Amino acid sequence: MVFNLETQRGNCVNTEYDSIVERARRFSQDIVRSRVADFEENGVSKEVIQQMAEQGFLRSIFPIEYGGLAVDALTYGRITEEIGKGCNSVRALLTVHTSLVGETVAKLGSDEQKQTFLPVMASGEKIACFALSEPEAGSDAASIQTSYQEFDDHYVINGTKKWITYGGVADLFLVFASKDEKTSAFIVERNMPGVTTSPMSGLMASRGAHLAEISFENVSVPKLNMLGRAGMGFSFVANTALFYGRYSIAWGGLAIICAALEEMVTYSRSRVQFGTKISQNQLIKAMIADSTTSLHAGRAMCEKIAEMRIKGDQRAVTETNIAKYLTSKAAAEVSSNAVQIFGGNGIWNSYAVERLFREAKVLEIIEGTSQIQQLMIAGQALRDYYRVALKKHYPNSKSASDKAGLSEAKNKLVASV
Ligand SMILES: Cc1cc2nc3c(=O)[nH]c(=O)nc-3n(C[C@H](O)[C@H](O)[C@H](O)COP(=O)(O)OP(=O)(O)OC[C@H]3O[C@@H](n4cnc5c(N)ncnc54)[C@H](O)[C@@H]3O)c2cc1C
């Protein structure tokens, strides 16, 4: 994928960055944390979604001319982390609304599209979500069945999307549909005739994130609403969106690692067994050491990709895949350590680690499963770390197939979520 990454240094002065991150921290601690149980039961409330908009979090990284605050990528990552520490389902709103849809429209939209959609998304008047996956198309996103037809002044979309985060409450859907095996992206509005959403229940995690199935039955969409050029839905729009989305998930993973570490350290210093605090046991310390190492490695990686985005470094795309893979895997391991350190209390929903453990697992599945990240990372590594000078030391090696398989694998993964 060729991704033209522009410099993303924001326009605010540093004190404003700090204040919005500090606001996110307070909002997460004071408002979000206390309501997590309710969100898990009833979904993140409209009131909290509106507060996220009023506080500027939803529009933080949007350009100023479209109602945004134009914070830089590092500040946006830190906002994501702070919100994610409070509740992963609330953090998911930033991922779908601000990153997957908002940043993509800001990057690829026409002037008219930006004027039409970004200010109402910035104010929270309209909430947006990302609708690529289908019942029969997940990792292999190129196999989507949702189709579109083209007419003189509009398109007609038919199909069903599944697992759509905030699909139950969103007003705008970034929908991917195919025609003649070529995929295009459209912004579809909830109030367009033929759009219906059904909430998904029985979920292990993301219970607050209003997951929904969405069906499109002969939905007529104006020509204005095609995002990017016809047929460029995967190579351009989905990959751009997933770059922003994975950036957000990387910081979301960091949030869970940090929250789980704070929980395990605090609990282990108060729980007494065999007449001593459990934190004094070397086996407990080993889990704390591993978890701390994961936090520091994850933070270094997240700050690295933020800096790469700020500098407009093209390698940010691959590094973001690595960061997403690293922090989601580490979040699953660290939250598992936290449950272990809490013992029986760890699986009781009176303690936060039970939820952190469930939420961490989701990060290894969404926006490209860990296996898909591994395939992409390995594909890049097989190019970057190949050394002709070393090869001569290997007996019986043949050169004919050096490149075989690499481009084929790359092409297949272009469309993977
Ligand atoms: C909580 C949640 C929120 C979501 N939100 C959204 C959303 O907002 N919008 C959206 O469009 N989608 C969303 N999704 C869907 C998500 O993107 C898919 O679940 C994900 O891409 C995996 O697809 P799948 O579930 O169909 O699994 P499959 O693709 O069927 O994969 C099943 C298993 O096979 C493995 N696998 C598949 N292909 C390969 C391969 N080539 N090599 C090795 N292993 C492979 C996978 O890694 C996985 O372990 C969400 C999912 C969840 C669970």
Look at the alpha carbons of 241, 247, 249, 255 in this order and tell me if their dihedral is positive or negative.
Answer: negative
Tell me how crowded residue 405 is: count the other CB atoms within 10 A of its CB. Answer: 11
The amino acid occupying position 322 is: I
For residue 369, report the distance from its CA to the centre of ligand 1, in Å: 6
Residue 375 CA, closest ligand 1 atom number = 42
> What's the pLDDT at 11?
43
> What's the pLDDT at 16?
52
**82, two tokens:** 């702070």
> What's the pLDDT at 395?
82
Q: How far apart are CA 115 and CA 248, in angstroms?
A: 24
The amino acid occupying position 288 is: I
CATH of domain 131-234: 2.40.110.10
Model confidence at 413, pLDDT cuts 50, 70, 90, reads: low
Q: How far is CA 9 from CA 73, 307, 412, in A?
A: 7, 9, 33
Residue 206 CA, closest ligand 1 atom number = 1
For residue 233, report the distance from its CA to the centre of ligand 1, in Å: 18
H or E stretch at 341: helix 316-342
- Angle (CA) 310-1-331 rounded to 5° is 60
Q: Is the pLDDT of residue 21 over 60?
A: yes
Question: With contact defined as beta carbons under 8 Å apart, do 137 and 163 qualify?
Answer: no
The half-sphere exposure of 410 on its side-chain side, counting CA atoms within 13 A, is 14
For residue 374, report the distance from its CA to the centre of ligand 1, in Å: 14
In eight-state DSSP terms, residue 58 is T
| Mean pLDDT, rounded, for 275-292 | 98
**127, two tokens:** 């909430």
Phi and psi, residue 414, nearest 5°:
-55, -35
Q: Is the pLDDT of residue 2 over 50?
A: no
Report DSSP letters for 66-94, one per residue. GT-----HHHHHHHHHHHHHH-HHHHHHI
Helices (H), 173-315: 239-268, 282-311
Question: With contact defined as beta carbons under 8 Å apart, do 139 and 416 qualify?
Answer: yes
To the query of whether residue 189 is one of the catalytic residues in this protein, the response is: no
Tell me how crowded residue 387 is: count the other CB atoms within 10 A of its CB. Answer: 8
The half-sphere exposure of 112 on its side-chain side, counting CA atoms within 13 A, is 8
Phi and psi, residue 167, nearest 5°:
-60, -25
H or E stretch at 363: helix 352-363
Helix axes of 370-384 and 316-342: crossing angle, nearest 10 degrees: 130
| Mean pLDDT, rounded, for 177-189 | 97
Residue closest by Cα to atom 31 of ligand 1:
139
> What's the pLDDT at 396?
75
> What's the pLDDT at 227?
98
Partners of residue 130 on adjacent β-strands: 174
Residue of 169, 365, 373, 375 to mutate, ligand 1, most atoms within 8 A of C-beta: 365
**38, two tokens:** 């309710």
The residue behind tokens 């936060």 is 352
Q: How far is CA 96 from CA 179, 210, 230, 366, in A?
A: 25, 12, 23, 11
> What's the pLDDT at 4?
54
Tell me how crowded residue 8 is: count the other CB atoms within 10 A of its CB. Answer: 21
Q: Is the pLDDT of residue 93 over 70?
A: yes
Query: Which of 87-91, 287-291, 337-341, 410-414 is least confident?
Result: 410-414
Mean pLDDT of the chain: 93
For residue 363, report the distance from its CA to the centre of ligand 1, in Å: 11
Q: Where are the domains of the chain?
A: 131-234
Model confidence at 17, pLDDT cuts 50, 70, 90, reads: low
| Mean pLDDT, rounded, for 341-350 | 98
pLDDT tens-place string over residues 123-170: 999 999 999 999 999 999 999 999 999 999 999 999 999 999 999 999
Partners of residue 219 on adjacent β-strands: 157
Look at the alpha carbons of 392, 394, 396, 400 in this order and tell me if their dihedral is positive or negative.
Answer: negative
> What's the pLDDT at 401?
53
**Which listed residue (40, 354, 367, 408) is catalytic?**
367
Residue of 87, 95, 139 to mutate, ligand 1, most atoms within 8 A of C-beta: 139
Global pTM reads 0.94
Query: Which of 259-273, 277-291, 393-407 is least confident?
Result: 393-407
> What's the pLDDT at 100?
98
Q: Is the pLDDT of residue 266 over 80?
A: yes
Residue 140 CA, closest ligand 1 atom number = 29
For residue 362, report the distance from its CA to the centre of ligand 1, in Å: 10
Tell me how crowded residue 116 is: count the other CB atoms within 10 A of its CB. Answer: 16
In eight-state DSSP terms, residue 119 is H
pLDDT tens-place string over residues 202-219: 999 999 999 999 999 999
Q: How far apart are CA 36 and CA 323, in angstroms?
A: 27
Question: With contact defined as beta carbons under 8 Å apart, do 40 and 205 qualify?
Answer: no
| Mean pLDDT, rounded, for 292-306 | 98
Residue 370 CA, closest ligand 1 atom number = 47
Residue 203 CA, closest ligand 1 atom number = 1
Q: Is the pLDDT of residue 414 over 80?
A: no
More confident residue, 410 or 109: 109
pLDDT tens-place string over residues 32-59: 999 999 999 999 999 999 999 999 999 9
Residues with CB under 6 A from ligand 1: 96, 129-133, 138-139, 163-165, 206, 211, 362, 365-366, 369, 371-372, 375, 417
Which three-class secondary structure state does DSSP give residue 200? coil
| Mean pLDDT, rounded, for 323-344 | 98
- Angle (CA) 170-173-179 rounded to 5° is 160
More confident residue, 164 or 391: 164
Q: Is the pLDDT of residue 400 over 90?
A: no
> What's the pLDDT at 392?
87
